Amino acid sequence: MRKFNIRKVLDGLTAVSAVASASSAAQQQQAGNRETEIQETLQSEHFQLCKTVRHGFPYQPSALAFDPVQKILAIGTQTGALRLFGRPGVECYCQHDSGAAVIQLQFLINEGALVSALADDTLHLWNLRQKRPAILHSLKFNRERITFCHLPFQSKWLYVGTERGNIHIVNVESFTLSGYVIMWNKAIELSSKSHPGPVVHISDNPMDEGKLLIGFESGTVVLWDLKSKKADYRYTHDEAIHSVAWHHEGKQFICSHSDGTLTIWNVKSPTKPFQTITPHGKQLKDGKKPEPCKPILKVEYKTTRAGEPFIILSGGLSYDTVGRRPCLTVMHGKSTAVLEMDYSIVDFLTLCETPYPNDFQEPYAVVVLLEKDLVLIDLAQNGYPIFENPYPLTIHESPVTCCEYFADCPVDLIPALYSVGARQKRQGYSKKEWPISGGNWGVITQSYSEIIITGHADGSIKFWDASAITLQVLYKLKTAKVFEKSRNKDDRPNTDIVDEDPYAIQIISWCPESRMLCIAGVSAHVIIYRFSKQEVTTEVIPMLEVRLLYEINDVETPDGEQVPPVPTPGSNPQSIVPQSHPSTSSSSSDGLRDNVPCLKVKNSPLKQSPGYQIELVIQLVWVSGEPPQQITSLAINSAYGLVVFGNCNGIAMVDYLQKTVLLNLGTIELYGSNDPYRREPRSPRKTRQPSGGLCDINEGTVVPEDRCKSPTSAKMSRKLSLPTELKPDLDVKDNSFSRSRSSSVTSIDKESREAISALHFCETFTRKADTSPSPCLWVGTTLGTVLVIVLNLPPGGEQRLLQPVIVSPSGTILRLKGAILRMAFLDTTGSLVPPAHEPWREHYEDKDEKEKAKKRRPVSVSPSSSQEISENQYAVICSEKQAKVISLPSQNCIYKQNITETSFVLRGDIVSLNNSICLACFCANGHIMTFSLPSLRPLLDVYYLPLTNMRIARTFCFTNNGQALYLVSPTEIQRLTYSQETCENLQEMLGELFTLVETPEAPNRGFFKGLFGGGAQSLDREELFGESASGKASRSLAQHIPGPGGIEGVKGAASGVVGELARARLALDERGQKLGELEEKTAAMLYSADSFSKHAHEMMLKYKDKKWYQF
């Protein structure tokens, strides 16, 4: 354990110029009359970075598969991701290294393996028998493009159709090609002169494995006899084919076509279809053909013992249904149900009771993969209700604009949020259990609770239970319901500063202990919420308007400290504004829009359900035709009853208990006479009296001139008003990320746009001469300045509601390089001093004033005793470029760390880990770093991911116990850990996908079918496709690549002789590949491999009843 001695020295340096090196041996501090020892327990070995889990809907899905025995669902995406879902809480994410789109997935049913086909013409075999699935084999096709794959149940031979119309056969045990090939020119009529197009379908006859049905895009279908290597029947149709499906008896099949028709064919009648159906076509009189419809992209044909078969299809709507939503059609007997979907259908699968294709299918549900949702339809209930989805797939219901992560929350928080959220659930779901129920949960090793809060573009906020690497929505709050909504674009008020999503959430400030919530929105509005378990109707919504754009004369601000604003309750100009905003009087004398907010608050009573209820709405208003600038920082404190926010114009503080504005200052005014910059207004304007009366709180002083005019263009103002704060940027589509960063402050534009970038309420020393800590607010700006504002709070109880809070600048100024991001405070032992807070109590228990007085408890301070706290504290300040630890009250910088020279920090958080604390930073260059506190020793520096878009910058956040997260795609949250302990326990915590389940018995053939040969015909595929019968495939056609999970995967899962055989095969496989490269040079090694091959083949014959992929 490393110790640091901090010696007393003379305070000969001012706070602005105090500099100390973190690496120097003698660290300096003024800390009273005795030496102080701070023991740091965190070392580099406590840190390790790894991804934990990914939550949310798979972004840009492209393929779907289901294992009907294991009850596992797989989804592939256009970016090469693979998501596997079992029972609720069992999820897994894998990634193909190439990043190519997944075009098809095929489970090896009940074998714990999955084959993926990618757009780069590779096949991969995944081992799902380990907690983190890995690729065992890959096969890269060199000359042909893969279009369709089919793996028959309980077969090791995978049929692969290509764009050229050929079919190759792959052994999924060794992942090698068979010499057996079905060439397109042999499959079609010899007289046909045209190419039949790519293979769009392959399947074997359910009753005869020796007959293969091949569908070509042009409309030709061929029934191929595998033994005789020739076509039995050819079925031709004028329209292009999209999909084909068998009746389970193998006597009929159905095709879906590009003109919206279905054709049903009898196997032995190839001349014309047995029946043609146009499900959505208008039947015309005089027996004419129905009008063509949109293509039917997929059809499934499922039979039931008790009734009519189901024909389920996607697409096929008539062309005159413009604007109609995508539909899934379920045809059952004479009834046809058209189920509208919210997004376009990517794929669907019918879930059936049996995995055997030659038995009655007994369908019970349909999984529909949509572009942005996953829907399960219950086929067994009338009306086909959907199942309630238990997976956290609604993160993107409205685009995520910001998020916050809280670990180690109060234990009663999650139950409280769940109880109010349970009332929000929709009704009308299927009453059956969720049918995707495979896998087993992992072991929960974490005992603390975690909550994620996401803010969305539609103004909604979602609270998620994120404990123990799972995710479940707890409660949803709609912040937009407090505002009047315009019914159409014409009704929209011309005060909007954003074209779309005027209610979007930018910043969330939440106090878990008091449950107070505060949000800042894109229309320069702030809403404060209080948590209550009781329903309440608010007659008049409490509201304040703040005029945060001040204007300057050529007269300089008077020297000296500003007069502390002392608003009295009787004459306070910032009172509640219950009436609706006056639209007629919203222009100033020169015709400019003035003194109006961007949004209109409802003036009717508002019914508020249990949960978060509005305490106060605060809106910034237009000033002389200038729109209010967006809010860049926000903080709330429940013990003080205050909320503070700032933008590039200045800062405003509101007492939400008395509903009054306490502070409304431009950033320059915060400095008083200590402004280090000589700032002149860019464009002097005429002096005009402020019309709202909200910025003349310093009576007798000259109202300064506007030094940061915003452009009238709303879009431009969004870009310019936030020079450094990235969280509020809502441009989801913009993936570019370029910011010129310079530590030297020379640009006039940059100087004049000094925004408030960080706010922190605390109980600490405000001036050098202070002997005891007091409540204050620390303010950080984008120019690297930290200013301290003193808070003089009245006593608690009834007095708190009657006497004013007095707010005054302290004159304390500290400087760092780069915009200030985060501030925190340590006590003499190096422990974190949390901001004061009030414990949560039900607000509506009793309206009696006496009860109110009792209810207000005194401000709670840090856990340290008052004696300790009076000695000294340490302020930890993190900026975009560096971190400093400053001793208080002396204001000496005792430690400094330059975090980055060439990049800048996007997110910095002071977090607890292993009963200690550290500073965690994420840089724009992709590095994640942690530093010890207070000495700022580097503990971790890992290149994690480059900043490729604004979404990552806007959503990345660290929290306690080594947890972090960010939005990896518009629909998914990626969680990671930087804790060595969590990394070690992760394997136990992850769920298992594969469980031992017995394969159901095959259907009985029956006495008569057995007697007369009417049952299913089996086929010895080994005899047909094996090397001895079909020879070797061309080496140049496909290249075998052993997977990274090869040997390890086998070791982890193998057992007994089967495992030994598998290892021998895998070793042979690897050796064979090397021999292929050196074949001409090394005849001796080839001989060795052949002898090894014979030995392995003998072992295979000995144990041929046991399948390789059962280990």
| pLDDT surpasses 50 at 869 | no
pLDDT at 861: 46
In total, the chain counts a number of residues equal to 1111
Segment among 628-632, 829-833, 1041-1045 with least mean pLDDT: 1041-1045
- pLDDT tens digit string along 145-182? 999 999 999 999 999 999 999 999 999 988 999 889 99
pLDDT at 1094: 61
Segment among 346-360, 472-486, 730-744, 827-841 with least mean pLDDT: 730-744
Interval 792-811 mean pLDDT: 89
pLDDT at 286: 64
CA distance 581 to 201: 64
pLDDT at 443: 85
Q: Choose the most confident range, by mean pLDDT, from 190-194, 283-287, 715-719, 823-827.
A: 823-827
pLDDT at 716: 27
Find the helix packing angle between 1056-1077 and 1046-1053, rounded to 10°. 170
| pLDDT surpasses 50 at 35 | no
Here the tokens at position 230 are 């020739």
| pLDDT surpasses 50 at 942 | yes
- Predicted TM-score (pTM) of the model is 0.81
Here the tokens at position 834 are 């949390």
CA distance 57 to 19: 49
Q: What 8-state DSSP symbol labels residue 692?
A: S
| pLDDT surpasses 50 at 1056 | no
CA distance 418 to 611: 10
Is 196 in contact with 182 (CB distance < 8 Å)? no
CA distance 642 to 662: 9
Looking at this protein, which amino acid is placed at residue 703? V
| pLDDT surpasses 80 at 2 | no
Is 405 in contact with 510 (CB distance < 8 Å)? no
Residue with the larger pLDDT of the pair 468 and 785 = 785
CA distance 316 to 542: 53
* Residue linked to tokens 């703040």: 546
* Residue linked to tokens 């979907």: 341
**CA 840 to each of CA 345, 475, 597, 789, 855: distance values in angstroms, whole numbers, following the listed order:** 46, 18, 32, 26, 10
Looking at this protein, which amino acid is placed at residue 275? Q
Here the tokens at position 1031 are 């020879």
CA distance 574 to 294: 62
* H or E segment and range at residue 1071: helix 1056-1077
pLDDT band per the 50, 70, 90 thresholds, residue 775: very high
Ramachandran assignment for 1087, one of left (phi > 0), alpha (psi -120 to 50 degrees), beta (any other): alpha
- Interior CA angle at 843 toward 841 and 847, to 5°? 130
Percent of residues, the chain, with pLDDT higher than 90: 57
Is omega for the bond preceding 775 within 30 degrees of 0, making it cis? no
DSSP string, 732-745: TT---------SS-
Here the tokens at position 253 are 């099949």
Count Cβ atoms within 10 A of the Cβ of residue 335 and give its class: 0-12 exposed, 13-18 middle, 19 or more buried.
Answer: exposed
DSSP string, 749-764: HHHHT--EEEEEEEEE
Q: In what order do the strands lie in the sheet with 882-888?
A: 820-826, 873-879, 882-888, 892-898
pLDDT at 1104: 56
Sign for the pseudo-dihedral over CA of 349, 351, 354, 360: negative
Q: Name, in order, each residue with C-beta under 8 angstroms of 405's C-beta and a sequence gap of 6 or more.
A: 450, 451, 452, 453, 466, 957, 958, 959, 963, 964, 965
CA distance 427 to 600: 32
Interval 692-708 mean pLDDT: 31
pLDDT at 16: 31
Q: Name, in order, each residue with C-beta under 8 angstroms of 155's C-beta and a sequence gap of 6 or more.
A: 209, 1021
Count Cβ atoms within 10 A of the Cβ of residue 99 and give its class: 0-12 exposed, 13-18 middle, 19 or more buried.
Answer: middle
Interval 678-700 mean pLDDT: 37
Is 173 in contact with 161 (CB distance < 8 Å)? no
Percent of residues, the chain, with pLDDT higher than 70: 73
Here the tokens at position 839 are 């414990």
Interval 855-865 mean pLDDT: 45
- pLDDT tens digit string along 517-533? 999 999 999 999 999 99
Interval 737-761 mean pLDDT: 58
**Three-state DSSP class for 709?**
coil
Here the tokens at position 430 are 């299927």
Interval 366-389 mean pLDDT: 95
CA distance 645 to 631: 7
Beta strands in 568-659, from DSSP E residues, in sequence order:
606-608, 611-620, 633-637, 642-646, 650-655
| pLDDT surpasses 80 at 621 | yes
Interval 872-892 mean pLDDT: 94
Interval 607-631 mean pLDDT: 92
Alpha helices, H only, 410-453? 413-421
CA distance 915 to 929: 19
List the one residue out of 287, 755, 283, 697 whose CA is nearest residue 507: 755
Interval 668-684 mean pLDDT: 64
pLDDT at 562: 35
List the one residue out of 941, 939, 978 whose CA is nearest residue 961: 978
- pLDDT tens digit string along 974-1032? 999 999 999 998 888 888 999 999 998 888 765 444 444 455 666 677 777 777 666 67
Find the helix packing angle between 1083-1102 and 1056-1077, rounded to 10°. 160
pLDDT at 1003: 82
Here the tokens at position 845 are 């228990």
| pLDDT surpasses 50 at 736 | no
CA distance 799 to 362: 72
pLDDT at 59: 96
CA distance 710 to 719: 10
Q: Which residues sit opposite 158 in a β-bridge?
A: 170
Residue with the larger pLDDT of the pair 731 and 900 = 900
**CA 126 to each of CA 195, 423, 806, 825, 831: distance values in angstroms, whole numbers, following the listed order:** 34, 42, 66, 49, 47
- pLDDT tens digit string along 523-568? 999 999 999 999 999 999 999 999 986 554 433 333 333 333 333 3
Segment among 249-253, 624-628, 684-688 with least mean pLDDT: 684-688
Is 935 in contact with 27 (CB distance < 8 Å)? yes
**Three-state DSSP class for 626?**
strand
Interval 574-584 mean pLDDT: 37
pLDDT at 1069: 52
Looking at this protein, which amino acid is placed at residue 752? S
| pLDDT surpasses 70 at 849 | no
Q: In what order do the strands lie in the sheet with 927-932?
A: 905-913, 916-923, 927-932, 938-943
pLDDT at 185: 87
* Residue linked to tokens 């998620």: 464
Q: Name, in order, each residue with C-beta under 8 angstroms of 775's C-beta and a sequence gap of 6 or more.
A: 640, 761, 762, 763, 790, 791, 793, 836, 859
Is 853 in contact with 789 (CB distance < 8 Å)? no
* Residue linked to tokens 């007629």: 584
Is 662 in contact with 642 (CB distance < 8 Å)? yes
First to last CA, the chain: 47
Segment among 193-202, 770-779, 1079-1088 with least mean pLDDT: 1079-1088
Looking at this protein, which amino acid is placed at residue 623? V
pLDDT band per the 50, 70, 90 thresholds, residue 961: very high
Looking at this protein, which amino acid is placed at residue 1080? E
| pLDDT surpasses 90 at 1108 | no
pLDDT at 749: 45
CA distance 526 to 507: 9
Here the tokens at position 1040 are 């075998």
pLDDT at 400: 95
pLDDT band per the 50, 70, 90 thresholds, residue 285: low
pLDDT at 1110: 46
| pLDDT surpasses 70 at 694 | no
CA distance 440 to 87: 8
Q: Which residues sit opposite 167 in a β-bridge?
A: 161, 182
Neighbours of 230 (CB within 10 A): 11
Q: What 8-state DSSP symbol labels residue 1028?
A: H
Residue with the larger pLDDT of the pair 1063 and 820 = 820
What per-residue string of b and e applies to 294-326 under the rule 16 or more CB within 10 Å gives b?
ebbbbbbbbbbeeeebbbbbbbbbbeeeeeeeb
CA distance 450 to 535: 27
